[in-house]
Structure 1
Amino acid sequence: MSAASTGTDVDAEGPRVRYVKKDHVAYVTLDRPAVLNAMDLRTHEELAAVWDDVEADDAVRVAVLTGAGDRAFSVGQDLKERSRLNAAGAPPTTFGSRGQPGWPRLTERFALTKPVVARVNGYALGGGFELALACDVIVAAEHAEFGLPEVRLGLVPGAGGAFRLARQIPLKAAMGHLLTGRRMTAARALEFGLVNEVAPADGLDERVAAWTDDLVRAAPLAVRAIKEAVLRSVDMPLEQAFATRYVWEERRMHSRDAVEGPRASRRSASRAGRRGDPPAVVQDPAVRSPPDVPVGSAPLRGRRGTRPRTARKKAAVQPENCTVGRSRVHFLTPCSDVSASLS
């Protein structure tokens, strides 16, 4: 079922969402474990305030969304509340949440440019699965289960499940789950590429931390530019995708990061070379080396017996905020500074 069948009075007075920010990571926890983190209207109102803050706070680089307890991420809409609303004459729900409390919800926050990692520990059903589908990275426990059981209840997956699932796994597989309400194991979701990683329950937090560490190390403007470009262009023809203007890419282009990152990488590579450490670089695909001889790793013999010459290679493009030798490049440009410089 897509929501808890128990009453909602057990936690009527407490907050529905816990929100903590630490080390550039925002931790967002659906906090109704007694009802398997089912979401009522108040939950959506609290989540809306959280997502507003995540996007506005430049110190936040990534958000982690999860559910309290070890039984469920979220089982979706609180059906008991929905029944009361129906009895009171509330209009029926359909696709989208416009005009309802908490709009735009995460499933419709198409302009949210900071990455969101779903930490799925247990059931992700109905609206809970739809929340996970709206995240950028999903890390699931081995016992996690995913499903959209709305069809069995005379409902539709109106928070985007019908649209996102068919875009994120093969169409026939998506239709099979959508039209029957069948559940999907974490292992099966991994096979589809629907989740990024599956971990034992006792190692779930460690694997989530590995993802957030990597995301925090990345250049924040580049992360936002890439996410915006990918999500806006995913349904575009390639020619249109290349021709489209992306707001966050405009900001990244004119930021200090775009200049300082490659410069700092070259300085670090130079220092590593003087120490004798091989610099960690990303090889330019256009640079070819002889078979079994990595570029720059050994001298090449010149033509017709001339003395050996050191292999020369084209400057390789460095990943932003990468490690070169033993040094790390850090990007700290506040997005507000960049925005102000473009205004």
Structure 2
Amino acid sequence: MKPDADTQKWMYETMVKSRRFEEMTAAVYLEGKQPLFNMANGPIPGEMHLSNGQEPVAVGVCAHLEDRDAVTATHRPHHIAIAKGVNFQAMTDEIFGKKSGLSGGRGGHMHLFDTKVNFVCSGIIAEGMGPAVGAALARHMRGEEGIAVAFIGEGAANQGAFHEAMNLAAVWELPFVCIIEDNSWGISVAKEQATAVARNDVRAASYGIPGEYVEGNDPLKIYEAAGRAIARARAGEGPSLIEVETYRLAGHFMGDAEGYRTAEEKERLNANDPIPKMRARLITEGILSAEEADDIEATMLAEVEAAFGAANAASYPAPEEALEKVFV
């Protein structure tokens, strides 16, 4: 079923907010890292993986979710975290390593935790599969409402954790959905060079569950496919597997020279940027006027700028706090 007008507006707002967040993250991340790139320098040290281009997957799925539903995400998590409703300021603070961050500045951008909306992510490939299936099992055993969704990349479908978790979810008929974000590249390795099947949705047959592939990085098509799988999970009919064709517009990480992608491929991907396409569709269909779309973009940018300003001004944790909340 096609989302209603209010949902489509929310999807567009969230996609724009995510994109502006990533653009500002990129700008701040590069401070102190130029002209000689050193990821240890600047206000945001360490690796940084941006989700520009993959916003449709997050909004298409999360539009169906509630706070009680558990979500696990990947090392490229910002678009999913924003769509799931993770505390925006605390997430920004965490990326800056500030005490007011989601984990007190300990986790950084690949390890975001927000228990209020049941969101977690990890930098380990396919790591979210087990915890998500565990969350689904817990809800099933307790007789509680709510489902679990694991977002993974197409390369993660080749990990043992993916197969083990999918098998258990199917055997136990758990309220679980696996979303594979197929952006064609596992770092610098093309999908066809690393995966024996052209589409991972066909793997669903191995577990006796439905599998679906969504082409075109289209938020409305993703919404419809996710709606079917999530409704099935809520009805107690077991898990589903969805692979979504999406596009990573930036490199695998900030500083990636992208020598594995041709200029033609990058031009094609940028020409298919999903945000301008959705803006044009909403205006054509009368859901938004051009002025309303402009207002949304200005509002989202202002929210991002405010969050970054507050994060920059926030305090770092004291050095001795590094020994707190750890096992010794």
TM-score of the superposed pair, with normalisation by structure 2: 0.30
Q: By percentage of residues, which structure has more helix?
A: 2
Which one has a bigger Cα radius of gyration?
1
Instruction: Give the TM-score normalised by structure 1.
Output: 0.29
